[in-house]
């Protein structure tokens, strides 16, 4: 398969890329580095990316940002960061990409445990993750040409523990092998409309 991994140089993305490269042709998309430079917060950039990369069988998105801050300090602009990047960025990848992917292709989006088990400071990230879960279920009913769509929703991943552990008291980190397998299941499996949840003890 020819697979584009957006955010393929990030914490999660680089582990997926390393794994999928063993069996597939993998291209990395990123904002500052990669085979294709793309900013998912800009739909024109997404359109240009699909114009420049032909014959894709799968798009994996392991990118997207949202502001973390106390709810009583969040401004409308603060919410807009997550809405433009992680929410509409991934919506636009599918909305535009459906017209470019090979028949039988797949989209794998990334959300996270905050959709189901939020922690403090995450109203925006939780909102955006939940929105993507609903998008996946609804879009799977309408995608044509055998296209599939799933989301991977992981708990705090092992490789990010140093950065985020204090925000997730009592959470068991998810081993990277389990995280990778969730993406493999979406890309190489046959399911669609699935939210692949990898949580431990929630
Ligand atoms: N880390 C966790 O424990 C965890 C758990 C569950 C879910 N998630 C979710 O998984 C996703 C990836 O997390 P991560 O920890 O791997 O993040 P990360 O280490 O910060 O990596 C993110 C990658 O995405 C790229 N990127 C960011 N914004 C982009 C944009 N607008 N357009 C294109 N590329 C962009 C970055 O490229 P540049 O550096 O070039 O900007 C970077 O390569 C996030 O949505 C996060 O919420 C993370």
Residues 2-42 have pLDDT tens digits of 999 999 999 999 999 999 999 999 999 999 999 999 999 99
Per-residue b/e over 70-102, b at no fewer than 16 CB within 10 Å? Answer: eeeeeeeeebebbbbbbbbbbbbbbebbbebbb
Please list every protein residue whose CB sits less than 6 Å from any atom of ligand 1: 6-7, 9-13, 30-33, 38-41, 62-65, 85-86, 89, 110, 112, 154, 156-157, 160, 164
pLDDT tops 70 at residue 202 = no
Closest CA to 183 of 91, 34, 60, 94: 60
Q: How confident is the model over 85-122, as pLDDT tens digits? A: 999 999 999 999 999 999 999 999 999 999 999 999 99
Chain segment 117-166, per-residue pLDDT in tens: 999 999 999 999 999 999 999 999 999 999 999 999 999 999 999 999 99
Output the pTM of the full model: 0.98
Atom of ligand 1 nearest to the CA of 30: 34
Å from CA of 191 to ligand 1 middle: 24
Nearest CA residue ID for atom 1, ligand 1? 160
pLDDT band at 201 (very low <50, low <70, confident <90, very high): confident
C-alpha to C-alpha distance for 181 and 127, rounded to whole angstroms: 25
């Amino acid at each position: 398969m020819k697979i584009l991994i957006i955010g393929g140089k990030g914490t999660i993305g680089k582990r997926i890329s390393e794994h999928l490269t063993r069996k597939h042709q993998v291209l990395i998309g990123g904002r500052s580095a990669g085979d294709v430079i793309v900013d998912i917060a800009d739909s024109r950039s997404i359109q240009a990316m699909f114009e420049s990369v032909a014959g894709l069988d799968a798009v994996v998105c392991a990118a997207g940002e949202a502001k973390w801050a106390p709810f009583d300090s969040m401004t409308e602009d603060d919410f807009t960061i997550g809405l433009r990047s992680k929410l509409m960025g991934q919506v636009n990848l599918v909305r535009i990409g459906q017209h470019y992917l090979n028949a039988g292709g797949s989209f794998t989006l990334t959300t996270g445990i905050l959709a189901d088990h939020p922690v403090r400071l995450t109203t925006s990230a939780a909102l955006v993750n939940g929105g993507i879960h609903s998008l996946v279920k609804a879009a799977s009913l309408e995608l044509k040409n055998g296209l599939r769509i799933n989301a991977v929703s992981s708990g705090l991943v092992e490789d990010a523990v140093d950065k985020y552990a204090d925000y997730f008291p009592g959470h068991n980190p998810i081993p990277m092998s389990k995280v990778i397998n969730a993406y493999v299941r979406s890309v190489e499996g046959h399911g669609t409309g699935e939210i692949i949840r990898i949580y431990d003890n929630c």
